[in-house]
Amino acid sequence: MDFRLDEEQQALRESVRDFAREVVAPVIGDHYEKHTFPYEIVRQMGKMGLFGLPFAEEHGGMGGDYFALCLVLEELARVDSSVAITLEAAVSLGAMPIYRFGTEEQKARWLPKLLSGEALAGFGLTEPGTGSDAGGTRTRAVLDGDEWVINGSKAFITNSGTDITALVTVTAVTGTKPDGSKELSTIIVPSGTPGFTVAPGYSKVGWNASDTHELTFDDCRVPAANLLGERGRGFAQFLRILDEGRIAIAALAVGLAQGCVDESITYAKERQAFGQPIGNYQAIQFKIADMEMKAHTARLAYYDAAARMLAGEPFKRQAAIAKLHASTVAVDNAREATQIHGGYGFMNEYPVARFWRDSKILEIGEGTSEVQRMIIARDLGM
Ligand SMILES: Cc1cc2nc3c(=O)[nH]c(=O)nc-3n(C[C@H](O)[C@H](O)[C@H](O)COP(=O)(O)OP(=O)(O)OC[C@H]3O[C@@H](n4cnc5c(N)ncnc54)[C@H](O)[C@@H]3O)c2cc1C
């Protein structure tokens, strides 16, 4: 067992670290404050090949793997989570369903644009009335000749309303199974399809430079060929996508937790109180030591989950543990980093204020902490 990074992984991590510090850090505070989407950063990430990282070259990808994506997400989130979640959602929730389950025609049509970062895709699972309980999905799609007619709404969908959003994959009830349960399927809805409306962006507590909307479908018609994978496989599809996505969110959470350590060390060495830098006080040193310990153990948990996934082994429990632990650690570290910054930690101009506001959603999105515990307990046979 060796969790040290090889030369290629280290080089990738270094280049993204430099990009985050030199390109993202100087401008992201302004985007955050104004709630604007960082198109220029997205364009540059596209040029770096980040949107195509874990995909095969034959589809326009970089031929890397999911762990490489996680390393990138960690480094981005160390500086800013809005940018990191934009990439995470674009790759893991946007392009991945088409890559994993799409027909050759669907892949040929959508993947080149999505993997170059020229276009983004959203993943529409959550609804205004149901999130954790996907069985409560109410959006319906009825086959009418050679078209699906979709009616319903989706809530909190990331990357669904940018100027470069090309499509949203939507889970919908398409019938009833022989056992009486809902038949769920996934359908591709291109942006601009009549009957598909994107509401104005939400006013959020955090992730303010990322794009999130409620979507409505009102007799929205798309070709029958827009079905993603097999009819009735929607449930299995999104479970797979979310299992993987949890490792990516864990990596993002570790990045935020590590960013809190970085900012706290810098501040503690500069800030003077009672005649010396506050970093000289053991109370502050111990806080930072604990933050580092938490970021480190959370990192090992996501490395382990990713290693199992890449080895083709079961990884559901480990992905849930990684996500649960890393998101808890991110919230803990953001709280402590803010405390170390005193009053300045409450000022939006300081990165730790952004980290604090961005940390809470990590315990909610892509499966709440309660859902992670349910997954772990179930996997333990309970
Ligand atoms: C900024 C943002 C971006 C998002 N992006 C996307 C996206 O791109 N695509 C998408 O589909 N969704 C997205 N989501 C939705 C997100 O995944 C859901 O908010 C999340 O899964 C929780 O669902 P919910 O909000 O409906 O909460 P609920 O499911 O209503 O849960 C409410 C509370 O009850 C708890 N709870 C529920 N069931 C149980 C149970 N059985 N036992 C114990 N406790 C339980 C939950 O843990 C939670 O604490 C996003 C959300 C946000 C805020």
- At residue 177, the pLDDT reads 92
Residue 58, CA atoms < 13 Å, CB-side half-sphere? 3
Dihedral angle over CA of 154, 157, 161, 162, nearest 10: -170
Quick check: helix, strand or coil at residue 166? strand
The 3-class secondary structure across 39-56, one letter per residue, is: HHHHHHHHHCCHHHCCCC
Residue nearest to atom 41 of ligand 1 (CA): 371
Which of 238, 364, 378 best tests ligand 1's pocket when mutated (most atoms within 8 Å of CB)?
364
State if residue 131 touches ligand 1 by the CB under 6 angstroms criterion: yes
Q: What is the spatial distance between Cα 261 and Cα 254, in angstroms, rounded to a whole number?
A: 11
Q: What is the spatial distance between Cα 254 and Cα 233, in angstroms, rounded to a whole number?
A: 32
Q: Distance of CA 231 to CAs 99, 107, 184, 187, 241, Å?
A: 17, 18, 8, 9, 17
Determine the distance separating the centroid of ligand 1 and the alpha carbon of 270, expressed in angstroms. Answer: 40
Determine the distance separating the centroid of ligand 1 and the alpha carbon of 155, expressed in angstroms. Answer: 10
User: What angle (nearest 5°) sits at the alpha carbon of residue 252, between those of residues 95 and 158?
Assistant: 45
366 belongs to the catalytic site: yes
Roughly what angle, to the nearest 10 degrees, separates helices 234-270 and 81-88?
160
State if residue 81 touches ligand 1 by the CB under 6 angstroms criterion: no
- At residue 231, the pLDDT reads 96
Which of 35, 132, 369 best tests ligand 1's pocket when mutated (most atoms within 8 Å of CB)?
132
User: What angle (nearest 5°) sits at the alpha carbon of residue 176, between those of residues 170 and 180?
Assistant: 130
Determine the distance separating the centroid of ligand 1 and the alpha carbon of 13, expressed in angstroms. Answer: 31
> What are the tokens at 157?
């969908």
Indicate yes or no: pTM above 0.75.
Answer: yes
Determine the distance separating the centroid of ligand 1 and the alpha carbon of 126, expressed in angstroms. Answer: 7
State if residue 189 touches ligand 1 by the CB under 6 angstroms criterion: no
> What are the tokens at 355?
């980290």
State if residue 277 touches ligand 1 by the CB under 6 angstroms criterion: no
State the closest ligand 1 atom to the C-alpha of 133, by its place in the atom list counted from 1.
Answer: 29
Determine the distance separating the centroid of ligand 1 and the alpha carbon of 127, expressed in angstroms. Answer: 9
Roughly what angle, to the nearest 10 degrees, separates helices 81-88 and 25-34?
90
State if residue 201 touches ligand 1 by the CB under 6 angstroms criterion: no
The 3-class secondary structure across 310-356, one letter per residue, is: HCCCCCHHHHHHHHHHHHHHHHHHHHHHHHHCHHHHHCCCCHHHHHH
Q: What is the spatial distance between Cα 371 and Cα 29, in angstroms, rounded to a whole number?
A: 32
Quick check: helix, strand or coil at residue 192? coil
- At residue 135, the pLDDT reads 85
- At residue 49, the pLDDT reads 97
Q: What is the spatial distance between Cα 242 and Cα 83, in angstroms, rounded to a whole number?
A: 20
- At residue 134, the pLDDT reads 86
Q: Distance of CA 77 to CAs 83, 98, 251, Å?
A: 7, 25, 8
- Number of H-type helices and E-type strands within the chain: 12, 10
DSSP codes, 90-149? IIIIIIHHHHHH--HHHHHHHHHHHHHTSSEEEEE--BTTBSS-GGG---EEEEETTEEE
In contact, 179 and 255? CB cutoff 8 Å:
no
State if residue 93 touches ligand 1 by the CB under 6 angstroms criterion: yes
Neighbouring CB atoms inside 10 A of 347's CB total: 10
Q: pLDDT per position in the chain (382 positions), as tens?
A: 788 999 999 999 999 999 999 999 999 999 999 999 999 999 999 999 999 999 999 999 999 999 999 999 999 999 999 999 999 999 999 999 999 999 999 999 999 999 999 999 999 999 999 999 988 999 999 999 999 999 999 999 999 999 999 999 999 999 999 999 999 999 999 999 999 999 999 999 999 999 999 999 999 999 999 999 999 999 899 999 999 999 999 999 999 999 999 999 999 999 999 999 999 999 999 999 999 999 999 999 999 999 999 999 999 999 999 999 999 999 999 999 999 999 999 999 999 999 999 999 999 999 999 999 999 999 999 9
State the closest ligand 1 atom to the C-alpha of 160, by its place in the atom list counted from 1.
Answer: 8
State if residue 264 touches ligand 1 by the CB under 6 angstroms criterion: no
State if residue 365 touches ligand 1 by the CB under 6 angstroms criterion: yes
Determine the distance separating the centroid of ligand 1 and the alpha carbon of 109, expressed in angstroms. Answer: 31
Partners of 172 in beta bridges: 185
State if residue 270 touches ligand 1 by the CB under 6 angstroms criterion: no
Of the residues 33, 58, 366, 370, only one is catalytic, namely: 366
User: What angle (nearest 5°) sits at the alpha carbon of residue 295, between those of residues 291 and 298?
Assistant: 135
State if residue 207 touches ligand 1 by the CB under 6 angstroms criterion: yes
Where do we find the tokens 């937790």?
A: 257
